[in-house]
Amino acid sequence: MIPVTTFAGSKVAVFGLGGSGLASASALFAGGADVVAWDDNSEKVDQAAGTGIPIADLHDVDWSKISALILTPGVPLTHPSPHWAVDLARAAGVEVIGDIELFCRERRGLATDAPFVAITGTNGKSTTTALIAHLLEYAGRDVQLGGNIGTAILSLEPPRAGRAYVIECSSYQIDLAPSLDPTVGILLNISADHLDRHGTIENYAALKERLIAGVQASAIVGVDDDWTSAAADRVERAGKRVVRVSVQRRLSEGLYVENQQIVRSAAGKTEAIARLDGIGSLRGVHNAQNAACASGAALALGLDQKAIQQGLTSFPGLAHRMEQVGSKGRVLFVNDSKATNADAASRALACFSDIFWIAGGKPKAGGITSLGEFFPRIRKAYLIGEAAKDFAATLDGKVAYDIVETLDRAVTAAARDAEASAVAEPVVLLSPACASFDQYSNFEVRGDRFRDRVLALPGIETS
C-alpha cells in the first residue's frame, strides 16, 4: 500500500467502495487523513465497514469541513449527469479527484525521480502497459504495475528512487487527475468509445490528450489517426518532447514499423530497434503499434536494443487479448474476449485468413457493419447473446453463420467445422465485438469460459 500523507490531518470523503475506492480509503486512512466513505451499494458499505474504514452517508456530512472528494472512476463525473456526491462537493467548493491524482501528489512528495510511465488509448493500453512492465522487469528494473489494468495504484508499493511505475489510465481516471505528470506518457490511438460518460468524442479525445500534456520527459504518441496526430502537434508546440509512432508509414523523426521491424528515425538516419516476426503474443498490426510504443518507453528509460528485443521475444501476452489457448491438429484456438467493440475485433480479424469466428453478446452502437472488409477472411460465424440476430442480418449473404446462442455451443460447433475444413491453418477466434453483460459479468469471465471449453476438447495441445 502507498499511504497517502498529503491529506494527513484533513477530512476527506471517499465515494465508491469497489476495488480502487477501498484502496483509496485505506491509503488515506493509513496516511493520517480523517476519512468518511460511502457507496450507493449497501453491501459495499458493510464490506468497507468490516475492514475498519469509517463510514458516513455523504448526504449528511458537513461539506464545509471536507478537503476533497475522492471519486471512484466508475462513478459519473460529468455525463450523463454528475453523481449526487459530485454535486454536493462542487456546491461546497470541494475538489473532486481520484486515485491517480493521489498517487501523483504522493510521488512528488516522496520520490520525484521514481520513473512513472502512464499509458492510455482506446485500444491496446493493457497490452502495452503489461509489455512495458515486462521489458523493464526483464532488464532487471524494480517495477510496479497497476492502474486500470487490475491492481489499484494505491495498492502498489510506495515510491522510492529507481522504482518504476507502469500505470494504465482510463479516460475516467484521467478526468480525475488534474495534475497528472508522468515521466513518460503514451497515447496509443483514439476512436469513439465511452461517449455516454464524456458526451462527445471531442471531450473524450481532449481527456486522453491530457495524459501526454503533462509529461516530464517524453510523450510517445501513435499518430495513425487524426485525433492523436493533432494531439502530438499541440503537445509539441507546448514545448514537450514528442516521439511519434506509426505502423502505417515511415516517419522522418520517430519510430515506425516496416517489414516486422521497429525502426527509429532521427536526424536523417535510421536504425533497427527490434524485430517482431515470430512473436505469437504480438501478432497483428495493432500489436506492432503496442510493441513500438512500448519500445519507445523502454528507450526513454535507458534500455538498449538488445534488452528490448529479448523482452519482446519473451513476452507471454495477456489473457483474453489474442491469447493463444491451444491447438488441435491444424486448428488454433484464440481468446480475444477483450474485444468488446467492433474496432477491437477488427484488429484480431486482420491477423488471420481462415477464421471460424465466435461473436456476439451485449451489442454496442454500430454493431459489426464496419467490419465488412474482413468478411472474406471468415469461413463461418457462430453468433451468441443478444446481438446474434442483428449480427446475422449484417452477415446475411456475405458470411455463413449459425445462431448458436451460447458460448459453449459456439466452441463445440466452431471446433467441429474448423477440423473438418480443408484450409491449412484454421483459427477458432473468440473476438465478440460486444460487451459480455448479457451472459457474463465481464469479459474476463467470458474469456475464462472459452478457455475452459477449449481445454476440455479432446486432443488439445498447449504450448
The CATH number of whichever domain residue 81 belongs to comes to 3.40.50.720
Contacts 24+ apart (CB under 8 A), 86-91: 88/58, 88/59, 88/63, 89/13, 89/63, 91/63
Report helix, strand or coil for 430: strand
Whether 3 is covered by a domain: the verdict is: no
Q: What is the structure's pLDDT at 435?
A: 93
More confident: 281 or 407:
407
Q: How confident is the model at residue 192 (pLDDT cuts 50, 70, 90)?
A: confident
* 450, 411 contact by CB (below 8 A): yes
Q: Per-residue DSSP letters for 161-185? A: TT-EEEEE--HHHHHT-TT---SEE
Does residue 109 sit in the same domain as residue 258? Answer: yes
The structure's pTM equals 0.85
CATH of residue 176: 3.40.1190.10
Query: Per-residue pLDDT tens for 7-27?
Result: 999 999 999 999 999 999 999
Q: What is the structure's pLDDT at 150?
A: 82
* Gap between the Cα atoms of 428 and 160, Å rounded: 46
pLDDT tops 80 at residue 147: yes
* Gap between the Cα atoms of 185 and 117, Å rounded: 6
The domain tally of the chain equals 3
Q: What is the structure's pLDDT at 263?
A: 98
Does residue 430 sit in the same domain as residue 359? Answer: yes
Domain boundary among 282, 313, 344: 313
Q: What is the structure's pLDDT at 318?
A: 86
Q: Which residue range(s) make up the domain with 451?
A: 323-455
Does residue 70 sit in the same domain as residue 153? Answer: no
φ, ψ dihedrals at 384, nearest 5°: -130, 160
* Gap between the Cα atoms of 255 and 293, Å rounded: 8
The cell numbers describing 175, all together, are 478526468
Sign of CA dihedral 211, 212, 218, 222: positive
Q: What is the structure's pLDDT at 459?
A: 95
| Cis amide linkage into residue 80, ω under 30° from 0 | yes
Whether 1 is covered by a domain: the verdict is: no
Could you tell me which residues are beta bridge partners of residue 119? Answer: 168, 186
Q: Where are the alpha helices (DSSP H) in 356-395?
A: 388-395
Query: Per-residue pLDDT tens for 77-99?
Result: 998 999 999 999 999 999 999 99
Domain boundary among 49, 74, 97: 97
Average pLDDT across the chain, whole number: 95
Sheet order of strands, 355-360 included: 323-328, 331-335, 427-430, 355-360, 378-384, 401-405
* Gap between the Cα atoms of 135 and 315, Å rounded: 8
Whether 4 is covered by a domain: the verdict is: no
Whether 463 is covered by a domain: the verdict is: no
Does residue 348 sit in the same domain as residue 254? Answer: no
* 349, 320 contact by CB (below 8 A): no
pLDDT tops 80 at residue 260: yes
Domain boundary among 97, 112, 138: 97
Does residue 58 sit in the same domain as residue 148? Answer: no
